[in-house]
Amino acid sequence: MRDRLILLPGWGLGIAPLEPLAEALRGLDSRLRVEIEPLPLLDSSAPADWLDELDANLPQDAWLGGWSLGGMLASELAARRGERCAGLLCLASNLRFVAEPTWPSAMAAETFGVFRQGCAADARATLKRFALLCAQGAADPRGLSRLLLGAAPQAGAESLLAGLDVLAALDTRAAVQDFVGPQLHLFAGGDGLVPAAAAPALLALLPDVEVGLVDNASHAFALERPHEIAAAIQAFLHEVGDD
């Protein structure tokens, strides 16, 4: 199933932001089976519980990829599976979402804490703010944020908060270092959630993996510019011989 790619979405906005990318990838190569798997609907804040759920439900030997939180979970699952994972694709996905002294290229902990408090108080308003942050740096940020929010599922506050806690807890540095399969990490130059500086920081940590920076693009670049992102992914798949 090395012609199969499983994509995991980011926090709170469901699978819709990845659908244009999946369709673009299928258009480039009809042999590539691209599927988007929703994130687990769990109240648990333990990353291991989320990974157990994904591991039990996702096919073996496929490429694993994802956007933002989805990419972080894909990284951990790829490391867990080892040779049973064909490769890893991460889109606007930091190795740590929340900054700490050894990984400063991330969101400030205080900023994240305020965001989480906002979600606990008013989840719908926080999702609206999140969609605006995802669209920051896009050519049409307001239009893109409306697209993101309009297709978002009606998730419960408990599940959203659990997802934020998982996002804050994950540190995928060991996972991407342990995984020996091919890796592509794409970042967005105008990202309002994952600093562009995360790209050279990742490359410094892992000089042998493919890292790209898409200029003048938002965190939601998979929805904003799906054909460009699909072309970059397809070129990488061709390069490593799994097209």
Report the alpha-carbon distance of residue 240 to residue 126 in Å, rounded: 40
Range of 185's domain? 4-239
pLDDT at 208: 93
Instruction: Answer whether residue 163 shows pLDDT above 60.
Output: yes
pLDDT digits (tens, 9 = 90+) for 6-23: 999 999 999 999 999 999
Neighbours of 221 (CB within 10 A): 28
Predicted model pTM: 0.96
10 Å CB burial of residue 213 (0-12, 13-18, 19+) is middle
pLDDT digits (tens, 9 = 90+) for 71-109: 999 999 999 999 999 999 999 999 999 999 999 999 999
Report the alpha-carbon distance of residue 129 to residue 42 in Å, rounded: 23
Helix/strand/coil (H, E, C) string of 175-196? Answer: HHHHCCCCEEEEEECCCCCCCC
Q: Residue 25 maps to which CATH number?
A: 3.40.50.1820
Q: Please, are residues 55 and 81 in contact by the beta-carbon 8 Å criterion?
A: yes
pLDDT digits (tens, 9 = 90+) for 119-138: 999 999 999 999 999 999 99
Summarize the confidence of residues 199-221 as an average pLDDT: 96
Give the confidence band of 1 by pLDDT, cuts at 50, 70, 90.
Answer: very low
Q: Please, are residues 88 and 74 in contact by the beta-carbon 8 Å criterion?
A: yes
pLDDT digits (tens, 9 = 90+) for 24-57: 999 999 899 999 999 998 999 999 999 999 999 9
Report the alpha-carbon distance of residue 96 to residue 204 in Å, rounded: 15
Helix/strand/coil (H, E, C) string of the chain? Answer: CCCEEEEECCCCCCCHHHHHHHHHHHHHCCCCEEEECCCCCCCCCCHHHHHHHHHHHCCCCCEEEEECHHHHHHHHHHHHHHHHCCEEEEECCCCECECECCECCCECHHHHHHHHHHHHHCHHHHHHHHHHHHHCCCCCHHHHHHHHHHCCCCCCHHHHHHHHHHHHHCECHHHHHHCCCCEEEEEECCCCCCCCCHHHHHHHHCCCCEEEEECCCCCCHHHHCHHHHHHHHHHHHHHCCCC
Give the confidence band of 243 by pLDDT, cuts at 50, 70, 90.
Answer: very low
Number of domains in the chain: 1
Only one residue has tokens 């291991």, namely 48
Report the alpha-carbon distance of residue 117 to residue 229 in Å, rounded: 33
Active-site residue set: 68, 191, 219
